[in-house]
Amino acid sequence: MSIDMAQFIDAFLEESFEGLERMETELLALDDGDPETLNTIFRCAHSIKGGAGTFGFGAISGFTHGVETLLDRMRNGEQEAAPDTVNLLLRAVDTLRAQLHAARDGGEADPAEVAEVRALIEAHLGDAAPASEARTPPAAGGNDGTDASSGGDHGGPRGWRIHFQPYADLMRTGNDPLRMFEVLEELGTLNVHCETDRLPDHADAFDPEDCHLAWTLELEGDATRDQIQEVFEWVEDECDLLIEPLEAVSVPTAGAPPLTPEPAEMGATTPRRPEAPAARGGSGNRGAESSSMRVNAGKIDALIDMVGELVITQSMLTDISEQLEEDPSQMEAQIERLRTGLGELERNTRELQESVMSIRMVPIAQVFNRFPRLVHDISGQLGKQIELTLKGEYTEVDKTVMEHLGDPLVHLVRNAVDHGIEMPEERAAAGKPETGQVTLEAFHRGGNVVIEIRDDGKGMDADRILAKARDAGLVGPNQHPDRHEILQLIFEPGLSTADQVSDLSGRGVGMDVVKKNIRGLGGNVELESEPGKGSRLTIRLPLTLSIMDGQLLKIGEETFVIPLIAIVESLQTLPESVKQVFGKLPLYRLRDEYIPIVDLAALFDRTEPSPLPERALLVVAEADDQRVALRVDDLLGQQQVVIKTLETNFRKVPGTAGATILGDGQVALILDVAGIARMASGRDTRAA
């Protein structure tokens, strides 16, 4: 049988990465060598070793063997779970991860690191070469024994006499002498003689589940002793077994009918040798990152249920159309049914959509799980005592959102540990517990995923941020932002220079990048902080990226969609608030702010804007902290739209974020407010 093992390698890699994460988490939680935790860690290593061997990654299997042996000793209490051992195991987890990545991408993990960690583990075991055993070929695989002699090598007919006397219990482990004889029969010509002398005389002494028989078997042919022993391998402790070469031409023992038809000539029944194991699949030359994901089976079942409902609704609608055709006089009654049917269809579609969406949702634990290690490592380096608490790890987020969330979160948690939490002495002096608390929490609120990063560290000094911001020219001398506004300034690019690390608790570094990343996911981030008490960063993200709440707009003959989240307000212009500036876009004064009025028709067609009517309809939208007022002819409804990229079928169009298909089949462009703002200001300078 040839089976391509490559098809299972993705699944193996995926579960191995999960296993490594699990190992890491549990290693970090390993208090005093808790046996249950150690068992879990051991199991992860064990699975990786077994899978790596099976799927053709011998080196990984060999490496893991050392790790597994060390863990086995720890769980048996033979080795202490000392901090340096735990750290070594953590390092081994990293090395394994690198090896698996290399296996997936067709590269090679740093051999020096692999060798060094392996040597360290072996040194820990006090054992020179613990890993060689991992690649021993299995005994039960049907490999032919190389050292085995054939029976009766003295010229005569060759074969073996086997005396087999099972203990009474043999069949209770599911072994069956008959099946074993059938295997032997494949090795040559088999004659079976059954010995019944141990059968009890009385029926009450007879237990039908016991084995009361013994056999003498004669096997003629080229079978080796090893091949025969292999047949009895599973029962060697449950029977008396004697295997000896046949001395002469065997005559079937009287009274024992041969199991097979009379043999033809010697050697006609050649033993069936299993073919050599097929080449291992999966040369390790895997394509780049796979985009497979694991989905909870329950979600798929729900989906199938819903499709079932949909089919029922569809057949109901078909039935209505047939009825109408047959008997048009029943029009009214059928229209009533049609409405019901369409109502059903709408409900089915909505449920189906929700359920398909949920397939893309994955628990945020996949991101959160890397933080215990991160916090452990950084706090160790800094000499701080920090307790990290994860909450709501099973909150689900869109897969794409999750993949892009990792880096910003690492940055924020690192900052909290690095700059938020004080040194133990400092904390003690301030009357706080020496161990600082960092909490990472995720939850759903109002159609958003909210992630909070809280610390009970020294907090932020708003006055100093304001002073810095004034220096950097971010806040004018006449502007007096409130405390909340001041704190949000740390997300400004101007405050993100390295020399402010110490001045501003280091939080200036890269915070603008964090904010940009999160806005890129359609979310936002806010900071609250109290000096001496700590800080709280709140990230709000949409549940998914492929569907959004949109507002439909009419501009000229065209319908556009604008993301609801971008809309600040919609209003009718007051003539006195419009300010015409020569050579520039007209501005609209909204409270104390002047906002450029964009004529989309002009912007897209690159024509001169048409004169603004006295009472125009404006939609004020904001993105990347820039506001624009879009001139629209009508506001239509709000609805959820499925975002489709234009690039796939056409090309990227500046000022749009994609397109969607409306209920009537019309294509509507989705406006990219940030892009429009950029285009508007570009036009602005060009015109000036």
Partner 1 sequence: MAKVLVVDDSASMRQMVAFTLKQAGHEVVEGRDGKDGLSKAQGAKADLVITDVNMPAMDGLQLTRELRKLGDYKFTPILVLTTEAGPEKKQEGKAAGATGWLVKPFDPDQLMNTVNRVLR
Binding region for partner 1 (CB under 8 A): 1, 3, 5, 7-9, 11-12, 14-15, 40, 42-43, 46-47, 49-55, 61, 133-134, 136, 138-142, 171-176, 179-180, 182-183, 209, 231, 233-234, 237-238, 274-275, 277-278, 280
**What CA dihedral angle connects 128, 132, 134 and 139, to 10 degrees?**
-130
Q: How far is the CB of 75 from partner 1 (least distance, A)?
A: 11
Q: By the 8 A CB rule, do 439 and 389 touch?
A: yes
Q: How far is the CB of 190 from partner 1 (least distance, A)?
A: 14
Residue 677 backbone dihedrals phi, psi, to 5 degrees: -60, -40
One-letter-per-residue 3-state SS of 471-502: HCCCCCCCCCCCHHHHHHHHHCHHHCCHHHCC
Beta carbon nearer to partner 1, 138 or 255: 138
Nearer to partner 1, 183 or 374 (CB): 183
Tokens of 539: 């990230």
Question: For residue 259, with 0-12 CB atoms within 10 Å meaning exposed, 13-18 middle and 19 or more buried, which class applies?
Answer: middle
Sign of CA pseudo-dihedral 32, 37, 43, 49:
negative
What phi-psi label fits residue 577: left (phi over 0), alpha (psi between -120 and 50 degrees) or beta?
alpha
Q: How far is the CB of 132 from partner 1 (least distance, A)?
A: 11
Q: Which helix (H) or strand (E) holds 401?
A: helix 399-415
CB of 121 to partner 1, least distance (A): 17
3 state SS for 11-63: HHHHHHHHHHHHHHHHHHCCCCCCHHHHHHHHHHHHHHHHHHHHCCCHHHHHH
At 679, is the secondary structure helix, strand, or coil?
helix
* Rounded least distance, CB 1 to partner 1, Å: 6
Per 3-state DSSP, the chain is made up of helix, strand and coil in percentages (nearest 5) of 45, 20, 35
Q: Which amino acid is at 135?
A: R
CB of 21 to partner 1, least distance (A): 15
Task: Give whole-number Cα distances, 148 to 98, 223, 249, in Å.
Answer: 42, 9, 22
Cβ closest to partner 1, residue 139 vs residue 574: 139
Cβ 408 to partner 1 shortest distance, Å: 31
Q: Are 19 and 44 within 8 A, CB to CB?
A: yes
> In the 8-state DSSP scheme, what is residue 265?
S
Q: How far is the CB of 107 from partner 1 (least distance, A)?
A: 21
Residue type present at position 407:
D
Return the number of the residue (49 or 627) whose C-beta is nearest partner 1: 49
Distance between CA atoms of 278 and 54, rounded to whole angstroms? Answer: 12
**Residue 68 or 398 with smaller CB distance to partner 1:** 68
CB of 11 to partner 1, least distance (A): 4
The CB-based long-range contact list for 294-297 (8 Å cut-off, 24+ gap) reads 294/14, 295/359
- Residue at 215: amino acid letter: W
CA distance 597 to 602: 11
Least spacing, CB of residue 245 vs partner 1, in Å: 24
Q: Which amino acid is at 641?
A: V
Q: Measured from the CB of residue 625, what is the shortest distance to partner 1 in angstroms?
A: 46
Task: Write out the E strands in 157-303.
Answer: 159-166, 189-195, 214-220, 239-245
Residues 6+ positions from 669 with CB-CB distance below 8 Å: 558, 560, 561, 646, 653, 656, 658, 659
Closer residue to partner 1 in complex, CB, 292/321: 292
Report the chain's terminal Cα–Cα distance, integer Å.
Answer: 76
Between 181 and 604, whose beta carbon lies closer to partner 1? Answer: 181
Q: CB of 508: closest distance to partner 1 in angstroms?
A: 45
Select 136 or 502, whichever has its Cβ closest to partner 1.
136
Q: How far is the CB of 515 from partner 1 (least distance, A)?
A: 39
> Taking the complex as a whole, how short is the minimal distance between the CB of residue 457 and partner 1, in angstroms?
37
> Residue 271: which of 183, 386, 344 has the closest Cα?
183
Pick from 96, 113, 89, 112: nearest CA to 41: 89
Token pair belonging to 660? 């969607």
Task: Compare residues 55 and 560 and give the one whose CB is closer to partner 1.
Answer: 55
- Rounded to a whole number of angstroms, the minimum distance from the CB of residue 142 to partner 1 is 4
Q: In the sheet that 534-542 helps form, which strands lie side by side, from edge to edge?
A: 386-391, 436-445, 448-455, 534-542, 524-530
